[in-house]
Amino acid sequence: MKTGHFLLALAALGLSACGGGEPAPATAAGEPVEASVPAAPLETAVAGAWRLEQERARDKWRHPVETLNFFGIKPSDTVVEIAPGGGWYTAILGPYLKSGGGKLYAAHVDPTASEGARANVDTYRAAFVERPDTYGDITLTVASRTSTGLAPDGTADAVLTFRNVHNWMAGGYADKIFADAFRALKPGGVLGVEEHRLPSARDQDLRATTGYVLESYVVQLAQNAGLVLEESYEINANPNDTADHPLGVWMLPPTLDKPQAGTPEAEGFDPAKYAAIGESDRMTLRFRKPANAAAPAPPPPPAQ
């Protein structure tokens, strides 16, 4: 999600969070709802009382159980989530990993980059990191063009990212983040990627200004980092999304951007059309770090 859209969406929910992650609700007495999740089905974490209705409403589009099962996430795993935003997936991953003694690294944007970035990370910290009773052991790290790593090298069973590749492309450092993911993974570990999908017949804008990315481009980024495509999954596909919206993917739910009055895009604009499409068509890809993989060559410096 673009930074501007990200902050507007959060303000509407009273949170500095992308994609709908909110702090856990409180009881009538004002006490936080605590997670009590057995090391058992992922469905238990998805059904947790700490998740808000705004989060649950998106499950039909985001398919968290199927997606995380496809990535092979176990409750005992060490997992890195790159750019968790407001924590939509943290609200599931945190309690799930807590139930089995796992560990979560949340690799955020650099909080020193701007006041908005700092506010977003501070909100995430208060909502999740400072609530280990519910969300378990979460360590904050940084994913940026200058960061030193997502987690200690060779420690992660899985690195996950949901709809963020276009942001790294816009910043000119996508190669670096994929290389960082490779370094963080154990031999045999999994990189799970979900991203807005550009139809294969289209040309890729290297800055991904519409938010859509060719599946083949994501595969190439991963392969350049030394990872191997293991399988793709169509659980997050949406054939109703034509990926050619005047303001990009942000015209679709949950953002539902509207063109400014008086602009060419505003002529004949029908918000119901975009709401009816639903959330974007997305690729869901599972890559693996080979058991005998050598470290890839350092990526070129990010474009200025």
Chain segment 9-63, per-residue pLDDT in tens: 333 333 333 333 333 444 333 444 444 444 557 999 999 999 999 999 999 999 9
pLDDT band at 296 (very low <50, low <70, confident <90, very high): low
> Does residue 214 fall inside a structural domain?
yes
Query: Please, which residues bridge with residue 104 across strands?
Result: 79, 138
- For residue 43 the two structure tokens come to 């469905």
pLDDT digits (tens, 9 = 90+) for 197-230: 999 999 999 999 999 999 999 999 999 999 999 9
User: How many Cβ atoms sit within 10 Å of the Cβ of residue 162?
Assistant: 24
CB 67 within 8 A of CB 45: no
Range of the domain at 245: 3-21+43-261+269-288
- Rounded to whole angstroms, the Cα distance separating 92 from 298 reads 33
CB 90 within 8 A of CB 51: no
- For residue 198 the two structure tokens come to 């550009």
What pLDDT score does 138 carry?
Answer: 98
Residue 177 has pLDDT above 70, yes or no: yes
- Rounded to whole angstroms, the Cα distance separating 32 from 40 reads 23
pLDDT digits (tens, 9 = 90+) for 60-107: 999 999 999 999 999 999 999 999 999 999 999 999 999 999 999 999
> Does residue 161 fall inside a structural domain?
yes
Q: Where are the alpha helices (DSSP H) in the chain?
A: 3-13, 42-46, 53-56, 59-62, 64-70, 90-99, 115-124, 132-135, 165-171, 174-184, 215-224, 271-277
Following DSSP, what letter does each residue of 206-232 receive, concatenated? TT-TTS-EEHHHHHHHHHHTT-EEEEE
What pLDDT score does 41 carry?
Answer: 79
> Does residue 142 fall inside a structural domain?
yes
Counted domains in the chain: 1
pLDDT band at 293 (very low <50, low <70, confident <90, very high): confident
Please state the φ and ψ torsions of residue 105, each to the nearest 5 degrees: -105, 130
What pLDDT score does 303 carry?
Answer: 57
CB 150 within 8 A of CB 107: yes
State how far the alpha carbon of 61 is from the alpha carbons of 155, 229, 231, in Å: 31, 24, 20
Of residues 14 and 231, more confidently modeled: 231
Measure CA 244 to chain center. Answer: 22
The pTM is what? 0.85
> Does residue 32 fall inside a structural domain?
no
> Does residue 148 fall inside a structural domain?
yes
CATH number, domain with residue 179:
3.40.50.150
> Does residue 86 fall inside a structural domain?
yes
> Does residue 280 fall inside a structural domain?
yes
> Does residue 141 fall inside a structural domain?
yes
